């Protein structure tokens, strides 16, 4: 008589992650508008504090964001009583694409309810901070690295500041969203 073999805990964990991943991506996208509202709430005063005369507002449309900057153009190109504005489109979801994977890993881990809930809250807060970081640095990148200098008026920044903007943008786009889920400790123990 053949005895059924027991599935290894590691294989069961991987299977759970793959089952939970589509659900986590759906939830991430379904709640994107709410998360973007939180990001706009914190990123707007931060950008306005850094560059008070340059950043006018941040407008949200669904889960997309437009950072509106006041720019300088020749007087003959702007009708009287109007201000030239440069809208910078930003997609905050770019900076949190690792959140669904982190949530799937946490939910598939053999943790008690309290630790699972705590890890979900921490992950969500960390990814909101990464989104704020990304929106700020992407808008600064477009303003100072891609916009012609003539449009920025008398605002000038040093070359090392341009390098820091580029570094911050690269961190927020490439490194933080992809690697942060590895630093959130779920500590599952597997015996293979």
Position 125 scores a pLDDT of 93
Calculate mean pLDDT across residues 125-152. Answer: 88
Position 77 scores a pLDDT of 64
**Tens of pLDDT along 83-109?**
778 899 999 999 988 899 999 999 999
CA torsion, ordered 157, 158, 163, 164, to nearest 10 deg: -70
Residue 18, token pair as written in the block: 């793959």
**Tens of pLDDT along 156-189?**
788 898 899 999 999 888 887 777 666 655 454 4
CB 43 within 8 A of CB 58: yes
% the chain with pLDDT above 90? 54
- Alpha-carbon Rg for the chain, nearest whole angstrom, is 22
CB 192 within 8 A of CB 8: yes
């Amino acid at each position: 008589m053949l005895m059924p073999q027991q599935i290894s805990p590691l294989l069961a964990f991987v299977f759970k992650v793959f089952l939970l991943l589509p659900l986590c991506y759906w939830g991430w996208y379904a709640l994107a508008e709410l998360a973007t509202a939180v990001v706009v709430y914190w990123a707007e005063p931060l950008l306005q504090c850094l560059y008070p005369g340059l950043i006018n507002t941040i407008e949200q449309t669904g889960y997309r964001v437009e950072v509106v900057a006041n720019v300088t153009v020749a007087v003959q190109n702007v009708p009287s009583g109007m201000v030239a504005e440069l809208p910078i489109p930003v997609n905050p979801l770019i900076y949190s694409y690792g959140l669904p994977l982190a949530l799937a890993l946490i939910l598939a881990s053999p943790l008690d309810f309290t630790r699972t809930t705590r890890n979900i809250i921490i992950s969500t807060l960390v990814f909101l901070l990464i989104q704020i970081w990304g929106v700020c640095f992407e808008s600064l990148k477009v303003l100072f690295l891609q916009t012609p200098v003539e449009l920025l008026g008398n605002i000038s920044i040093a070359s090392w500041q341009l390098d820091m903007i580029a570094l911050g943008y690269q961190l927020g786009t490439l490194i933080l969203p992809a690697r942060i889920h590895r630093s959130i400790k779920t500590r599952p123990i597997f015996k293979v």
